[in-house]
Amino acid sequence: MVHGKTTTINMITGITDPTKGSITINGFDIQKESVKAKENIGLVPDSPDIFASFDVSKYFNFMMEMYNVDKKEGKERVEKLVKEFEIEKFLNDSIADLSHGTRQKVMIIGVLLHNPSVWILDEPMTGLDPKSSHILKEKMKEHAKNGNTVFFSTHVLEVAEKLCTKIIIISEGSIRYTGKLEELQAKYPEVKTLEELFFKVIDNSKEA
């Protein structure tokens, strides 16, 4: 049974044990080879408050040290990303003192610093301003285009429709559909948007 999107993400990332089966990240079992599996993951959780006691720059340094990022390369990435997300003036501030949106930007930058092949993002657009949201979406598309994986959850179905090549629809703790978006669209050709498809799948699963 799938309990929900955040629970699913917690199992994928090794925060909680899977209730059934096994999970591998780039061939590494998240339970048996957790360190190697997690080296491939960049996680943006649903709450940006887990490192609230850090200053922004200290958090970036912590993330680079934890993932053994080359200092010169890491510094260049920090400079590039903080400029893109426009948070230069917050580098010496405590994360706890930042707005929700700025904290979200800090978490996203922290994840990108070690350039993981698998991005796992739980509601990553929440709190972001339109420009930052656009930048993140472009980075997600580019990352996937380069042969990597972007796994993200969202309640904004228009975002999923524009970005995703494969979708999972979860309702009441169970998976109602998993597969390619175009295959679902082909099944219901009369339905035009993912939002309409979502309710079509949910309604049909209740009737089954």
Residue 92 phi, psi dihedral angles, 5° rounding: -100, 5
Bridge pairing between strands 118-122 and 41-44: parallel
pLDDT higher than threshold 80 for residue 106: yes
pLDDT at res. 208: 56
pLDDT higher than threshold 60 for residue 1: no
Where does residue 198 rank: exposed (0-12), middle (13-18), buried (19+ CB within 10 A)? buried
pLDDT digits (tens, 9 = 90+) for 195-207: 888 888 888 877 6
The region of weakest confidence among 3-12, 99-108, 159-168 is 3-12
DSSP one-letter code for 187: H
pLDDT at res. 83: 96
pLDDT digits (tens, 9 = 90+) for 160-185: 888 988 988 888 778 888 999 889 88
